[in-house]
Structures are given as structure tokens and as C-alpha cells.
Structure 1
Amino acid sequence: MKFLCDVHISFKVVSFFKGLGHECIHVNEILEGCFTKDAEISRFADQGGYILVSKDSDFKNSFLLDRTPKKLVKINLGNVSNKNLIEILGHREELLRELDLKESFMLEIGGDRESYMD
């Protein structure tokens, strides 16, 4: 799988995905880094086949209205520790593998709820 972590996702998450053998980059490493506009991030993710991991609700809105980014993991956990976020993502690796086969999806991960749509 290929992941693109948005600006508010730690580089520790990038390292975690890489450690599992996945391709993963951070938005700060591409385009204009943290100054990159959301539309450009979505376009980059869609063109490269990346799953965008973000806490930004603008990406959820963009997915619902325009289906971009095509593949989105929306984190709704507030100021969760990196350790806990990595653990939560690790428990969903198999689900992410299944969803990645789809043309388009959004997986929302919240405190006591989780949902996805395609």
C-alpha cells in the first residue's frame, strides 16, 4: 500500500507504515510542504495512488462533494498520542488492504466509532 500523511500526522506514523513494508511519505516532503494547498495534496494522492491519512475535515468534505482524495483515512481522535494512533492504525491494516482494492473510499476513525464509505 501507499500512504501520504498530512501535515498534522507525525513522521512516526510514516516510519510505522514504512516498517510494515508500505510506501509512505509525509506532505512536508513533497510539493510545497506544509504550505501545499489541500487541492494539490488531493491531486498528488490521487495521481500517485496514495491513501491520504489526515485529521483535516476539509478532506472529508472534499471526498463527499467531489470524491477527492479518492482514498482517505480521516482521523477523528483529537490529540491522541502517536503511540496510540500507530496502534489504532496497526489494528486496521487488514481493513485498509481490503479498502485499498476499491477505486474510492473514506475510512473515519473516531474515539468509539468507525465508519467507511465507498
Structure 2
Amino acid sequence: MKYFIDAQLPYLLAEILRNKGFDIIHTDDLPEKDETSDTVIRQLAALENRIVITKDSDFQDSYLLFKQPPKLLLVTTGNIKNRPLLDLFRRAIPAIDELFGRYSFIELNNEEVIVHE
């Protein structure tokens, strides 16, 4: 699977997922970096068939209303330090990646992976 990581998530997450063999773009990889607009992120995700990983609930709204981005991983951990967040992803990403084979909207919180379909 191919993922697009939004600005509120650490760049180290992109490195960890790349090391696991995933095709990753982080907003910091783009010319506008963390100033990249949500519209550009949605367009790139649709164009390159990428799953957006974000904490931004605006993406949830655009997904529910317009199915944009086409696939979404909403991170709802609240304020969490990077180490526990990265550990959470290390544990959950195999299941998340498998679920995206069948579903389009998944949520990751501190306790579980939730499918919204």
C-alpha cells in the first residue's frame, strides 16, 4: 500500500514505515512542507492512490461528504508523545495495511483499530 502522512504526524513515522517496505510521502517531502494544503493532499492521494494518514478531522469530513481522500486512516490518539505513537504504529500497521485491502476508512486510537464502513 501507498501512504501519505499529514503534517501533524512526525517525519520519523515516514522513516519507520519506509523501512518496513511501504511507499510513503510525508508533507515534509513536498515543496510546501507542512504548509501543504489539504486540497493538495487530497488531490495527490487520489492521483497516486495513496491512503492519507492524519490527525486532522477535516479529512474525516471530506471523506464522509465527498469520499476525498479515497482512503483515510484517522489517528485519534489525542496528545501523545512520539515514542508511544510510533510504537502504536509498529504494532498496528500490519493489521491496518491488511484492512485497507477491504475498507476505505479506518481509525487508530490508543486502544484499537476501528473500521468505519
TM-score range, shorter chain: 0.7 to 0.9
Over the aligned positions, Cα root-mean-square deviation in angstroms equals: 1.7
Q: Aligned letter for 2:43?
A: R
Cα deviation digits, residues 71-110 of structure 1 (max 9, x gap): 11111112212221122122222322223324x6111122
Give the share of equivalent positions with the same residue, in percent. Answer: 26
CA distance in 1, matches of 2:75, 2:14: 15
Tell me, what secondary structure is at the counterpart of 2:108? strand
More strand by share: 1
The answer to whether the Cα contact below 8 Å between 2:3 and 2:23 also exists between their aligned partners in 1 is yes
TM-score of the two chains, using structure 2 as the length reference: 0.87
- 1:92 is paired with a residue whose SS is helix
Structure 2: runs of 5 or more not aligned:
none
Alignment of 1:19-30 (within 5 A): 19-30=19-30
Partner of 1:61: 61
Q: Distance in 1 between matches of 2:31 and 2:4?
A: 12
Q: Normalised by the size of structure 1, how large is the TM-score?
A: 0.87
Measured in 1, the distance between the counterparts of 2:31 and 2:46 equals 14
CA distance in 2 between partners of 1:36 and 1:51 (Å): 16
Matched, 1:80 2:94: no
Q: Which residue of 2 aligns with 1:3?
A: 3
How many correspondences in the alignment? 117
**TM-fit CA distance, 1:65:** 0.6
Q: In the alignment, which residue of structure 1 is the partner of 2:100?
A: 100
User: What CA deviation, in whole Å up to 9, does each residue of 1:51-83 have, x standing for no partner?
Assistant: 111110000111111111111111111221222
How far apart are the structure 2 equivalents of 1:65 and 1:85?
28
